[in-house]
């Protein structure tokens, strides 16, 4: 007699990367292809969803800033419902699931329901954005740390260590920062940041409709409005596109070892 017990369901919490399907990991692709149910965020690109099996149930759980949204509890319940029924669920999240992705709430819900899960890291949008403008997050002689910041949190525009961020050489990626741009500008300037500090906005990084706006802290809100940046974008504080730098800036001669040091 056949064992009637259903196979245990499970969830893969998958980083879908910034949009370009070639930036998906092989593991993400395999799990997506094996999934019975695919639950995805609004920013996951359609080329990636095409990698799901034809028979898979594919559900969007979009969260539109200031628009109609799925509630996090309902997303959690959906995963629990399908995996609890024995399905292999691929939960696709944009970029890396551990970066501003409410990953902990989803892990807690799965743990509470006794459902096994694994996490597949993805390329976070700030990594793709840095590649698009050919800069490093960290560079010898410029910055020893790099921050991932959000423009918003549950209370509205997010507060940060503005004094530290206003220092020369500070570098950061601001997620969800477009609407907070004027606020960020004001906070940094009050704390003494140089208005000429470079800021680069990269909208739709890695996608065919990518847009790059290179500006300065002083010109930030006007530059974003002028370029019509409305989609998902990373704002880099303290980083200018490589081609905007002159050669002396690009070659960090202070750290090239001298003959005696070799
Ligand atoms: N987990 C995601 C971030 C989710 S928060 C990651 O690791 O990238 C959503 C924010 O991510 C957006 O407001 C935007 O700031 C950024 N974002 C997501 N996809 C992007 C893309 N292709 N280009 C630029 N920014 C992007």
Distances (CA, A) of 123 to 59, 70, 195, 199, 206: 22, 24, 31, 22, 11
- pTM equals 0.92
Nearest atom within ligand 1 for CA of residue 207: 22
Q: Is 233 in the pocket of ligand 1 (CB under 6 A)?
A: yes
Nearest to 102 by CA among 156, 44, 41, 48: 41
What pLDDT score was predicted for residue 147? 98
Among 3, 27, 36, 41, the active-site one is 41
Count of other CB atoms within 10 angstroms of residue 22: 7
What pLDDT score was predicted for residue 63? 72
Q: Is 127 in the pocket of ligand 1 (CB under 6 A)?
A: no
Distance CA 231, CA 177 (A): 11
What pLDDT score was predicted for residue 1? 41
Distance CA 260, CA 126 (A): 38
- Establish whether 63 is a catalytic residue: yes
Nearest atom within ligand 1 for CA of residue 176: 13
Domains of the chain: 4-123 (3.40.1010.10), 126-247 (3.30.950.10)
The angle subtended at Cα 168 by Cα 165 and Cα 169, nearest 5°, is: 85
Torsion of CA 212, 216, 217, 222, to 10 degrees: -70
Nearest atom within ligand 1 for CA of residue 205: 23
* Contact indicator for 181, 233 with CB cutoff of 8 Å: no
For 102-154, write each residue's pLDDT tens digit.
Answer: 999 999 999 999 999 999 999 999 999 999 999 999 999 999 999 999 999 98
Query: What average pLDDT does the segment 51-69 reach?
Result: 87
For 146-182, write each residue's pLDDT tens digit.
Answer: 999 999 998 899 999 999 999 999 999 999 999 999 9
Q: Is 202 in the pocket of ligand 1 (CB under 6 A)?
A: yes
What pLDDT score was predicted for residue 244? 82
Backbone CA torsion sign across 61, 65, 69, 73: positive
For 202-239, write each residue's pLDDT tens digit.
Answer: 999 999 999 999 999 999 999 999 999 988 999 999 99
* Contact indicator for 93, 44 with CB cutoff of 8 Å: yes
Distance CA 161, CA 165 (A): 6
Among 63, 134, 161, 222, the active-site one is 63
Q: Is 95 in the pocket of ligand 1 (CB under 6 A)?
A: yes
Backbone CA torsion sign across 69, 71, 72, 75: negative
What pLDDT score was predicted for residue 254? 55
The answer, yes or no, to whether residue 255 has pLDDT greater than 60, is no
Nearest to 79 by CA among 53, 41, 29, 45: 41
Distances (CA, A) of 248 to 22, 45, 244, 252: 34, 39, 12, 7
* Contact indicator for 2, 48 with CB cutoff of 8 Å: no
For residue 256, name the pLDDT band (cuts at 50, 70, 90): low
What pLDDT score was predicted for residue 7? 76
Distance CA 114, CA 109 (A): 9
Q: Is 175 in the pocket of ligand 1 (CB under 6 A)?
A: yes
- Establish whether 211 is a catalytic residue: no
Q: Is 121 left (phi over 0), alpha (psi -120 to 50) or beta?
A: beta
Average pLDDT, the chain: 92
What pLDDT score was predicted for residue 2? 42
For residue 253, name the pLDDT band (cuts at 50, 70, 90): low
The answer, yes or no, to whether residue 261 has pLDDT greater than 70, is no
* Contact indicator for 201, 178 with CB cutoff of 8 Å: yes
């Amino acid at each position: 007699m056949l064992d009637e017990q259903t196979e245990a369901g499970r969830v893969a919490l998958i980083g879908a990367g910034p949009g370009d399907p070639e930036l998906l990991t092989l593991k993400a692709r395999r799990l997506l292809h094996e999934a019975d149910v695919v639950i995805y965020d609004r920013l996951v690109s359609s080329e990636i969803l095409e990698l799901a099996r034809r028979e898979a149930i594919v559900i969007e759980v979009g969260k539109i800033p200031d628009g109609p949204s799925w509630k996090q509890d309902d997303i959690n319940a959906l995963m629990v419902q399908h995996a609890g029924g024995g399905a292999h669920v691929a939960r696709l999240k944009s970029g890396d699931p551990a970066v501003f992705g409410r990953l902990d709430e989803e892990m807690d819900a799965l743990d509470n329901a006794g459902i096994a899960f694994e996490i597949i890291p993805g390329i976070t949008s700030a990594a793709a954005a840095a590649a698009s403008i050919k800069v490093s997050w960290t560079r010898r002689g410029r910055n020893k740390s790099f921050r991932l910041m959000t423009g918003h949190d549950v209370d509205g525009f997010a507060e940060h260590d503005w004094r530290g961020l206003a220092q020369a050489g500070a570098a950061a990626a601001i997620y969800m920062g477009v609407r907070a741009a004027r606020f960020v500008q004001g906070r940094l300037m009050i704390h003494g940041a140089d208005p000429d500090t470079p800021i680069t906005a990269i909208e739709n990084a890695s996608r065919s409709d990518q847009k790059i706006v290179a500006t300065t802290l002083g010109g930030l809100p006007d530059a974003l409005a002028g370029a019509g940046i409305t989609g998902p974008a990373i704002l880099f504080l303290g980083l200018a596109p490589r081609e905007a730098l002159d050669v002396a800036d690009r070659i960090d001669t202070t750290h090239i070892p001298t003959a005696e040091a070799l």
